[in-house]
Amino acid sequence: MGRDGVQDRTTAVGSPGYGTAGQPAPPRGPLGRLVAEMCAELRPQLSAVSATRLDYVVRRLAGPLQLAVAGRIKSGKSTVVNALIHRRVAPTDIRECTRLVTRFRYGAVDRVEVVRQDGTRRVLSYDADGLVPVDLGVAVDQIAYVDAFLTSASLESVTVIDTPGLGSTDATSVRRAEAVLGRSGRAGPDGVGLDAGSRTAIAQAEAVLYVLTQAVRADDAEALAVFGGCLSPQAASPVNAVGLLNKADQLDGADPIATARELATAQARLLRHRVRDVLPLAGLVAEATETGHFTEADADVLRQIAGLPPAQRDLLFFSADLFVRPELPIPVSGRARLLARLDLFGVRQAVDLLGADPTLGTGELRRKLAERSGVPAVRDLIEHAFRRRADGIKASVALAALAVVAAQAPAPGDRTRIRDAVEGLLQRPAAHQLRLLEAAALVSSGTVPMPAELAAELAGLVSGETPAERLGASGSPVAVLRELALERASTWRSFATFGSTPAQSRVAHVVHRSYCLLWQQLATGGGAVTDE
Ligand SMILES: Nc1nc2c(ncn2[C@@H]2O[C@H](COP(=O)(O)OP(=O)(O)O)[C@@H](O)[C@H]2O)c(=O)[nH]1
Ligand SMILES: [Mg+2]
């Protein structure tokens, strides 16, 4: 026990993040519920060890989507995390917790829980700046991870996991986390600079946001391979992963964001077997504008700068040093704060915006800056790629976890029962989407090569939210959609039968059935596929 607001308590020892005791809530989506129901039927037939593991899978299925933010050290992961959760809580300086895995989770009360290796927790408050505190009150080598609870609506459906990342290896942290890794039953590839704590966090993730920067362009593919190797194959596939080209503001040229956009497109092509897309982001500006870190006082300093004579103003932007040189009438502290919050690029953007419209209010200025940072597109991608697809993603990862439970079952009977139950589930029309997701993961990761146009069609079939989107024919009347579904079904059927490898043929059969089910669904008024 220590200062006020600090207490120790013991909770059930569980795997990181899933230590909540009691009955799990039912999963939120239809696919998750199907898997949970199957598990409930299966449970009484299993040995005690497998039943306990099954409980873990079911508990996890009911929770928010686990999204890991991965990347090299100093790539801006914590900065991106803050922007995404609308709160500046993850420290971006050199403090102890930047070397730890921190899970930002929804909670009724804002608090930080330091989870020790033995599963006990120490509860702390955020510091005066609202950040996870420097002093966690527990020796670092005893910490398994940090749970940061926030009453933030955006965390209700997604838990964001900040990781120390590549390049942060230190021997003790690796050794200390090996125990946790051992329990999670999944080790990553040897060495290659990813610390064990991050490896564990990533292994438990259901989706990943890779933060890339131009500086590591040459070995991005290798860096992603390291992360990919730690994930379950489902979570590692492009179906569940997106990339950000962060620090877009630091690229050379008159319009760094445009350069970043081009570079991101090239990276997306290069990394297509790893990520669904790569988007450019000026993370620092995004953090400042999304978290309220950019204030009215900052806007006032910007207005003063915008009002300077052009010659004097332009001189400011030559370098960070010149920007804070003392001889100007505008307070140095205000300029230094701007520099820390927006960097030179962001300040320049803001001054340009104010130059074009001196009447711009602070709220509007913030919104326009956020737009230029690239964060709205990133949010949109996360919404579509992850949040709206959370049910399918979680259910797929649960099936992958069940395969591991089956493979590691102490009783041979468990193995057969689990596999039969999963197979039975996948036969049902209502669960076919899970089979399709698996097929899409095989194709998009390059495991099963496919002609480019078929691969693209499959990606659309998986990512579309409505039947029309899935058929790539938004706005078409139902009759046209039905026709299209039949046509596609027949194309994939012939592909499955003629000229494909056995692996391609298996994928094609799954896709064929998806189109048939889609056709049925369109015939019955566009409702969800059921087993009836
Ligand atoms: N100029 C600029 N700096 C950034 C950006 N994103 C992060 N940073 C800075 O890069 C440093 C490392 O960021 P941090 O989020 O701690 O990286 P992490 O180690 O990957 O978590 C910090 O000083 C950030 O302020 C960005 O988009 N542009
Ligand atoms: Mg960090």
Token pair of 438 as six digits: 């698996």
The model's pLDDT over 280-292, given as tens digits with 9 standing for 90+, comes to 999 999 999 999 8
Residue 251 alpha carbon to ligand 1 centre in Å: 14
Does residue 13 surpass a pLDDT of 70? no
Residue 471 alpha carbon to ligand 1 centre in Å: 40
- At residue 184 the predicted structure's pLDDT band, cuts being 50, 70 and 90, is very low
Of the candidates 212, 245, 172, the residue with the CA atom closest to the CA atom of residue 72: 212
Sheet holding 111-116, edge to edge: 7-10, 120-124, 111-116, 143-150, 102-106, 158-162, 65-71, 207-212, 241-245, 278-280
Contact residues of ligand 1, CB 6 A cut-off = 71, 73-79, 92, 98, 165, 246-247, 249-250, 282-284, 343
Work out the average pLDDT over 128-134.
91
Residue nearest to atom 16 of ligand 1 (CA): 92
pTM: predicted TM-score of the whole model, two decimal places: 0.86
pLDDT of residue 190: 31
pLDDT of residue 220: 61
The model's pLDDT over 494-528, given as tens digits with 9 standing for 90+, comes to 999 987 899 999 999 999 999 999 999 998 765 55
- With the most atoms of ligand 1 within 8 angstroms of its CB, the residue from 74, 89, 348 to mutate is 74
Residue 213 alpha carbon to ligand 2 centre in Å: 14
Residue nearest to atom 4 of ligand 1 (CA): 284
- At residue 333 the predicted structure's pLDDT band, cuts being 50, 70 and 90, is very high
The model's pLDDT over 414-451, given as tens digits with 9 standing for 90+, comes to 999 999 999 999 999 999 999 999 999 899 888 899 99
Residue 296 alpha carbon to ligand 1 centre in Å: 23
Residue 244 alpha carbon to ligand 1 centre in Å: 13
Does residue 7 surpass a pLDDT of 60? no
Q: Angle formed by the axes of helices 48-62 and 390-407, to 10°?
A: 170
Work out the average pLDDT over 170-182.
37
Token pair of 260 as six digits: 């970043």
**If you average pLDDT over every residue of the chain, what do you get?**
84
pLDDT of residue 28: 83
Q: Decide if 187 contacts 162 (C-beta within 8 A).
A: no
Q: Which residues of 387-399 are buried (b: 16+ CB within 10 A; e: fewer)?
A: bebbbbbbbbbbb
CA–CA separation, 113 and 116 (whole Å):
9
Q: Decide if 75 contacts 162 (C-beta within 8 A).
A: no
- With the most atoms of ligand 1 within 8 angstroms of its CB, the residue from 75, 84, 89, 92 to mutate is 92
Work out the average pLDDT over 77-92.
94
Q: Decide if 393 contacts 298 (C-beta within 8 A).
A: no
pLDDT of residue 17: 37
Residue 183 alpha carbon to ligand 2 centre in Å: 25
The model's pLDDT over 339-363, given as tens digits with 9 standing for 90+, comes to 999 999 999 999 999 999 999 999 9
- With the most atoms of ligand 1 within 8 angstroms of its CB, the residue from 73, 79, 101 to mutate is 79
Q: Which atom of ligand 1 is least distant from the CA of 343? A: 1
- At residue 176 the predicted structure's pLDDT band, cuts being 50, 70 and 90, is very low
The model's pLDDT over 233-245, given as tens digits with 9 standing for 90+, comes to 555 677 788 999 9
Torsion, Cα of 262, 267, 270, 271 (10° steps): -150
